[in-house]
Amino acid sequence: MHAPVLDTEATTAIGASGPLAPLQRVVSLLNRIMVVLAAFALVAACLILSYSVAGRALFKAANYWQDEAAVFLLVGATFMTAAYVQEHRGHVSIEAFVGLMSPLANKIRLWLVDVASFLFCAFFTWKSWTLTHEAWVDGQVSNSMWSPPLAIPYGLMAAGMTLLCLQMLLQIVAPLTGARR
């Protein structure tokens, strides 16, 4: 009785038919590739942090690069997989109104939320690319002794947000072309 009402319209990806299907298949493939790469990045971050802890505890070794490398990997994994999560409607959503509204009202609600989310993410993407460009042009580096270029995490953030915006745009345009969500 207390389980959330499933919004089946919202949990399925764009259908295999329709004019957007080829583009959605390409984006889906890219999303799956990013998930695999993110899994490797997470494992690498775990190994790096474990090495850092062991190195400090056992050998009193300084860790100039380990924490920052792990953060870069985690930032990349987080942002580069956001489109995959969006494709499967895995982002946090409030389902309190799903059971109270008609199916048409739910479709409209979902579409309006997608548009609002896209507008926010598009702004975030634009600012991320601006930040990446500034870091690249100015040669900005982190404050640590390792001093890696900040264009790396900013670029991962911008690329991930771009992929997320493309996924959201596909989900916004799909109902307008008659494709099944």
Check if the beta carbon of residue 13 is closer than 8 Å to that of residue 88: yes
Q: In this structure, how many other beta carbons lie within 10 angstroms of the beta carbon of residue 110?
A: 20
Check if the beta carbon of residue 80 is closer than 8 Å to that of residue 38: yes
Report pLDDT for 175.
87
Check if the beta carbon of residue 168 is closer than 8 Å to that of residue 160: no
pLDDT at 89 over 60: yes
Lowest-pLDDT range of 3-12, 83-92, 107-116: 3-12
Amino acid at 65: W
pLDDT at 39 over 70: yes
Look at 148 and 9; give whichever has higher pLDDT.
148
For the chain, report the end-to-end CA distance as a whole number of angstroms: 27
Report pLDDT for 10.
42
- The percentage of residues in the chain with a pLDDT greater than 70, rounded to a whole number, is 87
Report pLDDT for 61.
83
Q: What is the pTM of this model?
A: 0.84
**How many whole angstroms separate alpha carbon 117 and alpha carbon 100?**
22
pLDDT at 18 over 90: no
Contacts of 28 (CB under 8 A, 6+ apart): 13, 87
